[in-house]
Amino acid sequence: MEHGLFLALAGAAISVGALHTLAPDHWVPFAALARAQADYAAALTRAHAKQAEREARIAAAKAEGKRHADRTPGPDRALARAQEALSAAQKAAAEQTAKAPRANVTDPDSRIMKTQKGWIQGYNAQAIVDKHQIVLACEVTQNANDVELYEPMITKLAGTLDAAGIIDAVLQALADAGYWSEENATTPGPDRLIATLKDYKQRRAARELGATTGPPPQDATPLEAMEHRLRTAEGAAAYAKRSYTIEPVFGDRKTNRGWTHFRRRGLPAVSSEWAFMHLTGNLAKLYKHQRGQLKTAAA
């Protein structure tokens, strides 16, 4: 039996004050611009990866003396949509800049965050859990983009494990598409599976492209290698663990325990509050585990 830690990483935007407090309209264009810039950067990276892949295939065919059907690819629609959205966001932000400035005086440390229900004034709360849903590391940040938080969270995890005297090696880390970048896929650290697409798109791609086997091709780009691994039976089974390890933790804190928003103000204070949420959650898990052992022993 292999001993070590399997981890899942996730983040969520949590508001300050009332549940799902919408951000002041003044700040929404600037938050939308930041989001559009991140989306465009991701689309551009993907477009460059596709171009590099095409050029590599052509070069390989020439080196082998083969004729390559060099069809000029059509326009990258995803990149075009991202560029269009960025241009619109830049225009909206420029128009808003001309208006009278405003500041958030309730919690100046908070930032505009995008959620499924709209924009909120809050923070990006991160957590890493093991297969037993024990939170091993957590952090609150002003950064709205998860992609820039993978390395800091893995670094924080290492410090937490060291402080607790846990010597088990991290065998694998699981993260959703919000953390995908070639840098995060290739940076030193534990083995990882990071989705390259949203979960439903990942499943659709697997159905359309079919399963893969074995290790990725040696000449595969980081994007191709990750998608290859995610479509293997082993990779798909490993990544599926993410949904029933980290997601229930966030659901428990918000739904079962009523922690739908931060009650304190300021980054240091909400960081302590976030840590306290998970401290009590971990203690409840350990208590239930101990009770289960006692019942088993008494049976």
Tokens of 277: 């949420």
Asked if 192 contacts 239 with a C-beta cutoff of 8 angstroms, the reply is: no
How far is the C-alpha of 46 from the C-alpha of 206, rounded, in Å? 18
Task: Answer whether residue 103 shows pLDDT above 80.
Answer: no
Q: Looking at the predicted structure, is the pLDDT value of residue 2 above 50?
A: no
Grouping H, G, I as helix, E, B as strand and the rest as coil, residue 171 is: strand
Model confidence over 70-93: pLDDT tens digits?
666 777 888 888 888 888 888 887
The pair of three-digit structure tokens given for residue 89, joined into one six-digit string? 């966001």
- Mean pLDDT in residue range 19-26: 53
- Tell me the C-alpha distance between 47 and 56, whole Å: 14
Residue, of 26 and 36, whose pLDDT is higher: 36
Query: What is the residue extent of each domain of the chain?
Result: 5-22+121-298, 25-103
CA–CA distance from 167 to each of 17, 51, 135 (Å)?
A: 39, 43, 16
Name the pLDDT band for 98 (thresholds 50, 70, 90): low
40-49, 60-69, 124-133: least confidently modelled range: 60-69
Higher pLDDT, 59 or 70: 59
Residue 1 has what pLDDT?
A: 37
Tell me if residue 115 falls in helix, strand or coil.
strand
Tokens for 206, please give them. Answer: 């697997």
Average pLDDT over residues 38-46: 82
pLDDT, mean of residues 246-251? 91
Q: Poorest-confidence range of 41-45, 60-64, 266-270?
A: 60-64
